[in-house]
Chain A
Amino acid sequence: MPKCKYDWPEAGERKLIGQRTSRVDGPAKTSGKAKYTYDVNLPGMLFGKILRSPYAHAKITALDTSAAESMPGVKAVRKIQDVGKEIQWAGDEIVAVAAESEEIARDALDKIKIEFEQLPHLVNEEDLSKAGEHAKAAGSEKAGDPDKAFSDPDVVISEGYYGIAVITHCCLETHGSVAEWTDPDTLKTYFSTQSVSGLPGEIGEALRQAGIDVKNNNIETICQYMGGGFGSKFSPDRWGIENARLAKIAGKPVKLLLERDMDLEVAGARPSSYAKIKVAAKKDGTIVAWQSDSWGTGGPAGATMPPLPYVFTGIPNKLTHHTSVSTNTGPARAWRAPTHPQAALLTMGALEDLAAKLNMDPLEFFSKNADLAGERAEVYRQELRKAAELIDWEKNWHPRGHQTPSHIKHGLGISLHTWGGRGHNSNCNVNIHPDGSVEVSLGSQDLGTGTRTVINIVAAETLGLPLEAITVNIGDSKYPADGASGGSTTVGGVSASTRRGCVDALDQLFAAVAPSLGVPADQLIAAGGKIQAKADSSKSLTWKQACAKLGVKTIQVTGKHPGPCSLGSSGVGGVEMADVSVDTETGIVMINKMVCAQDCGLIIDMKTAESQCYGAMIMGISYALFEQKIMDDATGRMLNPNMEFYKLAGIGDIGELVVHMMTGPGYDERGTIGLGEPPVISPGAAISNAVANAIGVRVPTLPITPEKVLAALEKGGVA
């Protein structure tokens, strides 16, 4: 293929791309110097708190805030929802207050008098028969002739029930903002957000609707560091808008970050998915038919059907039905790889049960059916081989139900996943100054994925400079607009815009220095901190000398994505395998080892890329074994809105983890593709399959708690 101007350097020419670079903001984070939204303290700053509904479904019948308003130290009180409003979930916002201290703000909430008329609620959906009119048919799809395929006497059929509960995001930094009106029509707002460039428009629109005349260009959003988002922090949210309004009323900056209980109850939810699934294969293991009746909830808006069947989309005969259940619970938010972890658990669980019924090794079964995955079949075969090698499948796998006299049963499980990850729209402003300093500026954000580091690497690689020579500016809406960080779209966007901007800026620098070097501009290269002739390295200038030729003129270029030359693509595979031990006396599942074979095109930073996979596997272990938003039928409240009983995996829960990134020919030339979502999709399914392999019976739903393991063993298996 002919070389295109902006193309990534060839493998042998890369100095930084693909190496193991430590994240550039690591020192700021480890030393406590990094300032997150929660850490912003401004002179005269007030603290905001919100009164919330204690009921899941209720009408406000009386509301009196006067006692709170007259308290010393209280500077603003705003009724968000007043008498007559119908509340649809517990924790919904009713009154916001701002006061001189957190303590006073909390006292002020206690002084508010409010009465409700309680209405009937539904907060649990696993038992569909109790959902009544909350359950609505939400789509059905058919392909081929499933009835005929299932009635073929030569097929083996497996039927089962599978499910995955609602979990919450539990970002360690709760949602919220610090709002400051620097003058009456100018709002500066520090936000824990995945959408630095998008927020001013959304905030402006909401404030104008509330009668506050403010222009989008007078709103600045800042987020230098953020303590986790995972899909839950795209919107300014009502509390973010209310905080700006409190600050306006009080005439002082206000900090309003959600308390932990409310963050868990209302600011994060991944929809559930439950399904009765029937699958059929020929006796040789070829999958021929799929039928699923699925349902789930994501709060008041219900939940759409996950992509079923997952990965093995080429199953020729398919019938799917989905039911969406609306519940009186905090609304769903995108959760890392929306709908995919659910789809993986339902699909890989059902297929692994089918393999067991066929007495087939699931590795052989999934490899054999890889063609049903379409264009990435060969990638999956390579990844299955690699993962099997890393977990030593051949030695460690046994047929379902570990035949051992010990009460500790050992098992292996597999899951496959896929994701898109095409780069989002991005603008990168590149400035090369006459003193040699370089800035690249993008209205992007680093969620902890390593965005800042990736931008730095691409700029340094392109300009032939060390990392430290580049100033990376992100996390502020005053920089050129960039996409929100969601769907694994960031690395593709920012790496391409930065590459294009730096190539163009370098062209201008070449043009400026060509006369003094006596070499045509198109014969110059930037490498090792110098500008030199391609053919004669003795004809060179140091970076500083070269930039001095600019006189008083700073080079200013904006690189864009999308743009010329293909620098990235979309669509990855990925295979994970889990090795577990199950104690059949206590029901406790322990992770011995998990492996991940993952492709994502050209890797910019191997170290942070691997961290994405390690982190995703750990997050996956957490939702496979521990996490559930437990809702109480009687009160309509979340029973575990704290980190003591909403359990996250700890350092002792993860076992040995191995990551293998697929790189080299066949992968690198695809350019950059996002990685945040894919590796978090498979852990639940791989662990569920490993548990079934260990104890000989399926634990139908996640999280796989000891109680559920013991209940499953009551019905069969090898206790």
Chain B
Amino acid sequence: MKRKTQKPKEVAPRQESLTRRDFLKGASVAVSSGLLITEGHAATPSPEPEPVAGPGPVPIILKVNGKPHKLNLEPRVTLLDALRNYLDLTGAKKVCDRGVCGACTVLLDGKPVYACNLLAIQAEEHDIVTVEGLSHDGQLHPVMAAFVENDAQQCGFCTPGFVVACKAFLDKHPDPTFDEVEEGLGGNLCRCGTYVGVRQAVLEAAKSMKGGKANA
């Protein structure tokens, strides 16, 4: 694996999302059962030979929720596994593990990404924020409060991913329409069927966050 950091794309709508397998294929155009993937999502091969990391563990530093963490990880460890298995940050959930469902959504330099779809070494030198980094001193983030009020959760396993995706969505669309909510959150899946509450929660959170309030 070439050790090169790159800017991952914002979480794509569901139909456009990539599997990790596709990601690792590099820049070649991947066609998987009718889904044409054409965007420059993956690493562009460099003409220069680059240092190769691994396959054994390599030292890396991940900056998560404002704090640097020194880790020794095999290059194949995903950002999600690094957060969950090595840093005990379990708010991001492992569900599809293939960049489809959004339960592992975290912010990378403020943009939402699927943590299962990135290698930890690719997240080095980026600011990573997990759901744990969105609430401070026991105060719920306004998105979380709106989720509670509108019962936008049942089992709750998709909920942290939704919360992070909503926060990022509202950063970009502070005054969203109903249609924008449905499109913008199409990259997260729920099995219990909480979308009615989620739609309402996002619109309500947008209102409560007006005026730059507490959108930490």
Residues of A bordering B, CB below 8 Å: 22-23, 25-27, 29-36, 38-39, 41, 47, 101-103, 170-173, 225-228, 230, 257, 259-260, 447-450, 607-608, 610-611, 614-619, 622, 642-645, 648-652, 654, 657
Contacts and interface: CB of A to CB of B under 8 A. Distances in A.
Nearest to B88: A41
A41 B192 contact: no
B191 interface: yes
Interface string B1-31: 0000000000000100101000000000000
A195 to B, nearest CB: 16
B90 A26 contact: no
B144 interface: yes
B101 interface: yes
B191 A31 contact: no
Given A29-B159, A652-B183, A22 B148 contact: yes
Interface centre among A103, A259, A610, A619 (most CB of B within 10 A): A103
Interface centre among B33, B98, B151 (most CB of A within 10 A): B151
B93 A38 contact: yes
Q: Which 4 pairs from chain A and chain B are nearest by CB?
A: A32-B91, A618-B193, A448-B155, A227-B157
A37 B159 CA distance: 16
B100 A172 contact: no
B197 interface: yes
Contacts of A225: 155-156
B90 A39 contact: yes
A36 to B, nearest CB: 7
B155 A41 contact: no
A452 to B, nearest CB: 11
Contact of B193 (A41, A227, A619): A619
Contacts of A450: 154
B94 interface: yes
B153 A30 contact: yes
A39 B84 contact: yes
A89 to B, nearest CB: 22
Interface in B142-198: 143-144, 147-149, 151, 153-160, 163, 181-183, 185-186, 188-198
Contact of A643 (B154, B181, B189, B194): B189
20 contacts: A23-B153, A30-B140, A30-B144, A30-B153, A30-B163, A31-B132, A101-B85, A102-B81, A172-B158, A173-B157, A260-B95, A447-B155, A448-B156, A618-B195, A619-B192, A619-B193, A622-B193, A644-B96, A650-B14, A651-B190
Contact of B131 (A26, A31, A447, A654): A31
Interface of B: 14, 17, 19, 33, 74, 76-77, 81, 84-85, 88, 90-98, 100-101, 103, 130-132, 134-135, 140-141, 143-144, 147-149, 151, 153-160, 163, 181-183, 185-186, 188-199
Contacts of B101: 172, 643
A310 to B, nearest CB: 23
A25 to B, nearest CB: 8
Given A22-B149, A651-B188, A617 B157 contact: no
Given A38-B93, A226-B155, A448-B156, A615 B186 contact: no
A322 to B, nearest CB: 30
A650 B165 CA distance: 14
B90 A41 contact: yes
Interface centre among B130, B153, B198 (most CB of A within 10 A): B153
Contact of B153 (A29, A622, A649, A650): A29
Given A38-B94, A643-B95, A652-B183, A171 B191 contact: yes
Given A228-B191, A614-B193, A31 B144 contact: yes
Given A31-B132, A172-B95, 15 more contacts: A26-B148, A31-B134, A31-B135, A31-B144, A32-B91, A38-B90, A41-B84, A103-B76, A171-B155, A171-B157, A172-B189, A607-B151, A610-B151, A618-B196, A644-B17
Contacts of A36: 90, 93, 157
Contacts of A32: 90-92, 130-132, 160, 163
A34 B144 CA distance: 13
B206 to A, nearest CB: 16
Interface centre among B85, B100, B155 (most CB of A within 10 A): B155
A33 B144 CA distance: 12
Contacts of B77: 103
Contact of B98 (A26, A171, A642): A642
Interface centre among B132, B154, B186 (most CB of A within 10 A): B154
A36 B84 CA distance: 12
B168 to A, nearest CB: 15
A568 B155 CA distance: 25
A25 B151 CA distance: 11
B147 A41 contact: no
Contacts of B17: 644
A36 B81 CA distance: 16
Contacts of A643: 95-96, 98, 100-101, 189
